[in-house]
Amino acid sequence: MRPVPVPRVRRAARWIAVGVVTVVTAASAAACSTAPTASAGGSSRTIQVVAAENFWGSIASQLGGSRAKVTSIINNPAADPHDYEPTAADARTFAGARYTVVNGIGYDAWASKLLAASAGNDRTDLNVGDLLGIKPGGNPHRWYSPADVHTVIGKITDDYKAIDPADAAYFDQQRTTYEKTTLAPYEKLVAGIKAKYAGTPIGASESIVSPLAEQLGLRMLTPVGFLNAISEGSDPVAADKAAIDQQIATGQIKVYVFNSQNATPDVRAQVAAAKAKGIPVATVTETLTPAGATFQDWQVHQLQAIEQALATAARR
């Protein structure tokens, strides 16, 4: 069930008190970094993995299989990774990890602070933004870029193999199965939409859609300033609002895609205007929806909705 769309206001995440972090002793962190497992062959321990967000956590879990136990801090569709306020339990969870995955690019600064407060020599940290060479200020929504997803898959696999060399063959097989079989419906939709609808002009509520639109070959007409303003919780300038209102009113855009977890008054007004004009509207979300969904099932559902909207627009 999708969360009720509510306006989202960005704010700098408040950093938890230093005392919260110091409750985690070196001994407890070391004890939690690995745990025994009964898996046959290979190593006899599982890698304790912590992901800041569940979209990366879902991928890390499927790549790790029985050799990794993954905990995602953001696992509620109503939570906003941008302004999440970490708890003492979050600090302990990160401190006990052997491997961590954070998005970076200014998206989850709270997670990087937690990691810095519990730095250890025996932990491997993956910052997706650093991996991709994207600095703060760039578009942080890299899980909406199929190419970037595959880069992250490769890196997680390599890191698992470095942490647990005895199970290297197992991790290679997990990656092969995930990329070639599990993600096959996702890849088919991406390729099919691009082949059939590349060049279609679309509008969007925020920058979360931009990486995906680029890879699908769709032409984003919404002003970049508007996309970034909504994504970051600031007020769009009047000129940008007027531009997209005109694009909707004149039918310049054929499909409108919006993030239902960030439905500001401006966005809601645009959705209503698009529907009134007969422009198909497709919905995406920031994090896995419903809670507990896998990355691929979530993305396939959204891609199918975008494909259906494009098909409807093509018949008009």
pLDDT tens column, 50-104: 999 999 999 999 999 999 999 999 998 877 787 789 999 999 999 999 999 999 9
- H-run or E-run covering 100: strand 99-102
* Cβ-based neighbours of 24, under 8 Å, separated by 6 or more: 91, 92, 95, 96, 118
Q: Tell me: the pLDDT tens digits for 110-142?
A: 999 999 998 877 999 999 999 999 998 999 999
What value does the mean pLDDT of the chain take? 88
CA distances in angstroms from 194 to 62, 181, 282, 284, 301, listed in the order given: 27, 20, 16, 18, 17
CA distances in angstroms from 92 to 60, 167, 237, listed in the order given: 20, 27, 42
Q: Which pair of tokens denotes residue 247?
A: 């694009």
Alpha-carbon distance of 303 to 183, in angstroms, equals 13
Model pLDDT, residue 169: 98
Give me the residue label for tokens 């002009």: 201
- H-run or E-run covering 185: helix 184-197
